[in-house]
Amino acid sequence: MKNSTRIQQLTHDWETNPRWKNIERPYTAEEVIRLRGSIDISYTLAKLGAEKFYLALMQQTYVPALGTLTGNQAIQVVEAGLPAIYLSGWQVAADANLSAEMYPDQSLYASTSVPQVVKRINNALRRRDEIQSIQRVKEPIDYLVPIIADAEAGFGGNLNAFELCKQLIDAGAAAIHLEDQLSSAKKCGHLGGKVLVPTQEAINKLIAARLAADICHVPTVIIGRTDADSATLITSDIDPRDQPFIKDVPRTSEGFYAVNNGLQQGISRALSYAPYCDLLWLETSNPDLTYARDFAEAVHEKFPGKLLAYNCSPSFNWSKHLDDDALLSFREELASYGYKFQFITLAGFHALNTGMFELSKAYLARGMKGYADLQNREFELQKEGYNAVKHQAFVGASYFDEIQQAIQQNSATQAMTDSTETAQF
């Protein structure tokens, strides 16, 4: 296909597709096609996931998700019925990074770690889809749910953010979020010492993400996050949009300016980011519905219907802030304000650690009875769709038996034949 035709098609899509309503791009379709090269590479999982996620945001009251650490955790999330998976940089730093270290959430791990975990999760989900296929399930599960991936502060400048987003798309991420902290001083949103970059610098990272998606020809959902609610420092006073929030006090020993953090600065930044992303996320310090409503109303006054995201963070002491009735209705209240994507970032970390600790205590105290109790619980959960109790079949032994059979008819080395799992489960 001629480049002129590709340019025309892309321009037409941007101008007429409702998906791009109110989305601004400072670059042209001609620049995208030139940067794309002579062929259009297919990023099937990323494209499929992005389309599913955006459709869910449009059609559902809200899209709930849990943060997962591993492929097996992701499978449990899907088989339990959740429609999306959140992939947290915090969790990758803690226990799933290529540096093989346990880190706090300060961008200390290799930047390629999150793409690798996206790929690992997608590979696990694909395997379950393949296993399901050979089982000829009457009502198959859609295992390839959208993965919403944490790109942190981009691990550097615009080019670093661009390359990271391309890697995430290549791995099959449906959505990407970027935050407005200084990469070299990046912290978890619930730690101190956070340093903002100028508003325009944060916008440039969002543009880098959109450009990466356009070059990959994938409608990746871009989420813009601001830490302005609690970040007390900023690198520069160059951007006039930031100047009203800068305090008239001496700069820090690093040369940073002090800012008046809080809701108003968060609103200011969100309004600036809105044209360049699909969803807005204000990181907050408490599960405060009034705060969430005030932010949403301020955004929607200027950008009616703008999609919002909310981190239902494990850093909050939920029962301390809310009673049981409020906890039960929290998601619906948020959704009524326009928070369409709601997620628990560190769910996998806490579930993994709690479960293993409790099992260890039970085994220490009651021996095999402690483990048998867990196994019996697994048997009970089978009625609700839990499949991992049959661990050999779960990871694909039967699937590879079929591959062996296709290669060598009447093979005598079938793994599941005469297995203890077949005999006892």
Domain definitions of the chain by residue range = 41-345, 368-424
Query: Mind listing the pLDDT tens digit for each residue in 208-257?
Result: 999 999 999 999 999 999 999 999 999 999 999 999 999 999 999 999 99
Is 189 labeled as ligand-binding?
yes
Report residue 214: phi and psi, to 5°: -65, -40
CATH 3.40.50.300 applies to domain 41-345: no
319 among the known binding-site residues? no
Distance CA 271, CA 404 (A): 57
**How far is residue 311 CA from its own chain's centroid?**
11
Q: Going by C-beta distance under 8 Å and a sequence separation of 6 or more, which residues neighbour residue 381? A: 389
**Cβ partners under 8 Å of residue 270, min gap 6:** 224, 226, 280, 282, 295, 298, 299
90 annotated among ligand-binding-site residues: yes
How does residue 410 score in pLDDT terms, banded at 50, 70 and 90? confident
Distance CA 155, CA 84 (A): 25
CA atoms within 13 A on the CB side of 309: 29
pLDDT at 388 over 80: yes
Distance in angstroms (rounded) separating the CA atoms of residues 93 and 205: 21
Instruction: Count Cβ atoms below 10 Å from residue 37 Cβ, excluding itself.
Output: 9
Query: Would you say 216 is a known binding-site residue?
Result: no
Residue 140 in marked binding region: no
The answer to whether 293 is annotated as binding is: no
User: Is 188 annotated in the active site?
Assistant: yes
Q: Given pLDDT bands bounded at 50, 70 and 90, which one contains residue 417?
A: confident
Query: Of all residues in the chain, what percent carry a pLDDT higher than 70?
Result: 100
Q: Is 184 annotated as a binding residue?
A: no
User: What is the model's pLDDT at position 419?
Assistant: 79
Average pLDDT over residues 303-311: 98
Q: Angle 222-347-190 (CA atoms, 0-180°, nearest 5)? A: 70
| Per-residue confidence (pLDDT) for residue 92, from 0 to 100 | 96
Q: Which residues contact 56 (CB under 8 A, 6 or more apart)?
A: 63, 83, 84, 146
- Identity (one letter) of the amino acid at 376? N
Query: Residue 382: what residue type?
Result: Q
312 and 292 Cβ atoms separated by less than 8 Å: no
162 pLDDT exceeds 90? yes
If pLDDT is split at 50, 70 and 90, which confidence band does 97 have?
Answer: very high
Partners of 223 in the beta sheet? 177, 279
Q: Give the pLDDT score at 412.
A: 82
Question: Per-residue pLDDT tens for 247-299?
Answer: 999 999 999 999 999 999 999 999 999 999 999 999 999 999 999 999 999 99
Query: Is 313 labelled a binding residue?
Result: yes
Q: Which residue has better confidence, 421 or 121?
A: 121
Given the residues 165, 188, 216, 277, the one annotated as active site:
188
